[in-house]
A and B are shown apart, each in its own frame.
Chain A
Amino acid sequence: MTTIELRNVSRWYGNVVAVNDVTMSIEPGVTGLLGPNGAGKSTIMHMIAGFLPPSRGELTIGPGSSWRNPAVYRQVGLVPERDSVYAFLTGEQFVVSTAKLHELPDPAAAAARAIALLDMAEAANRKIATYSKGMRQRIKVAAALVHDPEVLLLDEPFNGMDPRQRLHMMDLLDKLGSEGRTILFSSHILEEVERLSGTIQVVVAGRLAASGDFRAIRRLMTSRPHVFTVRSSDDRLLASILIGGTTAGRSAVTAVELTRAGLQVRTSDYGAFCRDIAVLARDHGIRLREVLPADESLESVFAYLVAN
């Protein structure tokens, strides 16, 4: 059982702060590192993996630091985000050579086990240059798992995978986590994290925005106010219905603003509002011209989390 600890870790490049005073503890099991692009996830991953020293703070994997300490890779497997592998090798040669670099007693057997685990046996004798992006990702994971590490770090592991490959990878990570390994993966896609991990660390603008049980954080995310821009044949009537009618409670409409561009509607229930506005408009003979979520980017979700 190995725990990853970050204590007041910061990392800056010149005047640019990439990671700002992050403290987190990553326990055995699957943990998702979630955040929008540019939030500092990769920087955190690189620091944990020993490929970047913290500018300040302390970072340990198990008992020791990973910076300038190659011995740590006996218990750590790393799947980097960058899609660069030895394309001139076959999948099998790549995994076997990784096993040899780890000085495993039977590299061929270890490689065969890892390749089978990733369902890559059929393509193992092909050159990696002929692989799809998803297959390259899987062979990288096989190489990272070949020495049976206690800690597995995956930087955006689902990039380029088709839905079937994603499900297979998720099941595998789930299984590895339940065996007591410490699995940390980064992602900017909420649904990936939702499907896979019970624990998440949310990073926004280099800071730790939320940490803990995914369901609690998800509730916070879904109960945040959503803003819609609505244009219709009678905006004034629609506004009065939305704010005053019985559906207002059901759709959790909290505010309506009449603007030149149409109505700005605030609601705390995204799904109910989308269903109800269509029914309301039909019942009152109003023609809807546009119903547009004003800001549903992941960044805005995370910004809300930070503010709360």
Chain B
Amino acid sequence: MFNTTVAWITLRATLSRRRALLFALPAVILILLTVALKASHPPMQLWPSHVLGTFGFSVLIPLTALIIGTSVLGAEIDDGSIIHLLATPVSRSAVVMTKFVVATGLTVVFAAVPELIAALISGGGSVPGPGDAGLVPIGAGTFAVALFTGALACSVIYNAVFVMVSTATTRAIAVGLLYVLVWEVLLSNFVSGVKLLSVSHYGLGIANGLASDPALEAGLGVLTSVVMGAIVTVVALALAMNLLSSFTLKGEPA
């Protein structure tokens, strides 16, 4: 199911495009922001959970996954070069799985690892203690591992979804942006049921399960997040494989 030649071509293609520069931009912003806040704030503040939870899971990870996930297959479908992969005996399932693995790997490098680095720089989160206890610290290690695990889960699920979207439409970026900005950011604040189909909330749910922090509260438990995330990933990949198996080239009508 994994083809090293397809992976090598995909990696070369993705990193050689100009939009590859965009991958690193949100990560750089997150790390710089963390460094600036760390320098300007005393220890034991709530900002690490807000910045790394809200900005990280609502902006950094989804946008990085969107750019990468729609590039690995969508860009080749758009410019027609995908035909050189598809006119070989390599199964379409292997093409989808390989593209998905490469996209997930790149998203981990450009989003999950920066999230981990930023969490370590921040020195860990803090949560309000019971009664007048003030803020109770969450150790930097626990905090970073929780965020990194949530980010890993998001990287996997988002890429399955965005690879599928890029096989279904040539406007994958627009569709992905609508999903992230309208569904996840806007609607999930007003309609709680929306969170059940929100990838960023799965990630936050998993992170919150490892380091209990109200700022990472996703409205979803760990179990729900893991089960829903697994279902969405499997369904999205199965759909992508089926769509790519029926990939068509349009001829000119007479």
CB pair A68–B89 under 8 Å, yes or no, is no
CB pair B254–A101 under 8 Å, yes or no, is no
Of the candidates A76, A102, A143, A206, which one forms a contact with B254 in the assembled complex, judged by CB atoms under 8 Å apart?
A: A206
A52 touches B (CB below 8 Å): yes
CA distance A17 to B254 in the complex (A): 7
CB pair A73–B252 under 8 Å, yes or no, is no
Within 8 A of B (CB), among A244-300: none
Q: Could you tell me the distance in whole angstroms from the C-beta of B8 to the nearest C-beta in chain A? A: 7
B84 touches A (CB below 8 Å): yes
CA distance A235 to B246 in the complex (A): 62
Q: Could you tell me the distance in whole angstroms from the C-beta of B174 to the nearest C-beta in chain A? A: 22
Binds A, one of B9-17, B49-57, B64-72, B147-155: B9-17
CB pair B88–A70 under 8 Å, yes or no, is yes
Closest-by-CB residue of B relative to A16 is B253
CB pair B89–A51 under 8 Å, yes or no, is no
Asked whether A51 and B79 contact (CB < 8 A) given A98-B84, A101-B85, A205-B254, the answer is no
CB pair A40–B245 under 8 Å, yes or no, is no
Asked whether A38 and B84 contact (CB < 8 A) given A101-B3, A101-B6, the answer is no
Closest-by-CB residue of A relative to B6 is A101
| Chain B proximity mask over A195-218: 1 for CB below 8 Å, otherwise 0 | 000000000011000000000000
Residues from chain A with a CB closer than 8 A to the CB of B85 are 101
CB pair B248–A46 under 8 Å, yes or no, is yes
Q: Could you tell me the distance in whole angstroms from the C-beta of B4 to the nearest C-beta in chain A? A: 8
Closest-by-CB residue of A relative to B92 is A70
CB pair B81–A85 under 8 Å, yes or no, is yes
CA distance A82 to B87 in the complex (A): 14
* Interface residue range, chain B: 20 to 34
Within 8 A of B (CB), among A63-99: 68, 70-71, 73-74, 76-78, 80, 82, 84-86, 88-89, 94, 97-98
Within 8 A of A (CB), among B75-91: 79-81, 83-91
CB pair A18–B251 under 8 Å, yes or no, is yes
Q: Could you tell me the distance in whole angstroms from the C-beta of B20 to the nearest C-beta in chain A? A: 11
Residues from chain A with a CB closer than 8 A to the CB of B253 are 13, 16-18, 38, 40, 43
Residues from chain A with a CB closer than 8 A to the CB of B254 are 16-20, 38-40, 205-206
Residues from chain B with a CB closer than 8 A to the CB of A41 are 251
B40 touches A (CB below 8 Å): no
B249 touches A (CB below 8 Å): yes
CA distance A46 to B91 in the complex (A): 18
Asked whether A97 and B9 contact (CB < 8 A) given A70-B92, A73-B89, A74-B89, the answer is yes
CA distance A278 to B41 in the complex (A): 97
CA distance A171 to B61 in the complex (A): 55
A184 touches B (CB below 8 Å): no
Asked whether A40 and B252 contact (CB < 8 A) given A70-B89, A70-B90, the answer is yes
CB pair B5–A86 under 8 Å, yes or no, is no
Residues from chain A with a CB closer than 8 A to the CB of B16 are 88
Closest-by-CB residue of A relative to B81 is A84
Closest-by-CB residue of B relative to A43 is B251
CB pair B89–A40 under 8 Å, yes or no, is no
CA distance A98 to B16 in the complex (A): 19
B247 touches A (CB below 8 Å): yes
Q: Could you tell me the distance in whole angstroms from the C-beta of B26 to the nearest C-beta in chain A? A: 24
Closest-by-CB residue of A relative to B90 is A101
CB pair A78–B5 under 8 Å, yes or no, is no
CB pair B252–A49 under 8 Å, yes or no, is no
Interface residues of A (CB under 8 A from B): 11, 13, 16-20, 37-46, 49, 51-53, 68, 70-71, 73-74, 76-78, 80, 82, 84-86, 88-89, 94, 97-98, 100-103, 140, 143-144, 205-206
Instruction: Supply 25 A–B pairs (Cβ within 8 Å), ascending by A.
Output: A17-B253, A38-B254, A42-B251, A43-B251, A43-B253, A46-B249, A46-B251, A49-B87, A51-B248, A52-B249, A53-B246, A71-B89, A73-B87, A73-B89, A78-B83, A80-B249, A84-B80, A86-B9, A88-B16, A89-B9, A97-B5, A97-B8, A101-B6, A101-B88, A101-B89
Q: A94-B84, A98-B88, A101-B3 are known contacts; what are 15 more A-B pairs with Cβ within 8 Å?
A: A16-B253, A17-B253, A18-B254, A20-B254, A42-B252, A44-B251, A46-B249, A49-B87, A49-B249, A51-B247, A70-B88, A73-B89, A86-B84, A101-B6, A102-B88
Which 3 residue pairs across A and B have the least CB separation, nearest first? Answer: A43-B251, A206-B254, A84-B80
Interface residues of B (CB under 8 A from A): 3, 5-6, 8-9, 12-13, 16, 79-81, 83-92, 245-254
